[in-house]
Amino acid sequence: MSVLVGKKAPLFKTSAVIKGNQIVEDFSLEQYLGKKYVLFYFYPADFTFVCPTEILAFQERLQEFEERNVAVIGCSVDSAFSHWKWLQTELKDGGIKGVKYPLVADLSKTISENYDVLAGHYDYSETGESIFHGTPQAYRGLFLIDKNGIVRHQVVNDMPLGRSTDEALRIIDALQYYEENGEVCPANWKKGDKAIKPTQEGIADYLSK
């Protein structure tokens, strides 16, 4: 598993569904550079079980992400047409209607490969045929990308394990606090808690209280 933290986030240009109902062919992360943070996350597949709970959970907290100047973007190996159909399907029928943030199509699986979350790999058979070993879907990878396009946080869950929107917001608060104040955030830090001046005196002061 590659560690992308501290590196430029892999860029791409692909189709996506935006605003819940519009398919665009040239969606790219470049539009956010210098303007917004990006929470870019992968999920295994449309019309599944854990995935809609995560997708809807991010939608429910979308205003909180937007207040922090964060664009939320989802991605799976499905086509934009599959995303669109799922977005038109009512919740009572297993759909995700009402989700407004972009869902990116990674039909070629190259985005998942570049972020190293693809659950498997391509190989060749003894007869020279291209074959895929594993599950041709993405693990539940999540990447926080700053306004300079640098990955500052990543977490990857196996497919049965849903992620926490609370933790995603907490880590955004921690990064933005550090950027604004220059103080580092200790274990279990949350907005409003005391942080640490990055000096020996600072850590001594923190641990003594």
For residue 103, which of 132, 124, 77, 142 has the smallest C-alpha distance? 77
Q: Do 183 and 195 touch, CB atoms closer than 8 A?
A: yes
For residue 112, which of 85, 78, 153 has the smallest C-alpha distance? 78
Q: Which two tokens stand for residue 102?
A: 């972009």
For residue 42, which of 30, 24, 55, 57 has the smallest C-alpha distance? 55
Q: Which of 17, 51, 142, 175 is catalytic?
A: 51
Alpha-carbon gap, residue 158 to 200, rounded angstroms: 38
Active site residue 185: no
Cβ neighbours around 48 below 10 Å, total: 16
Residues known to be catalytic: 51
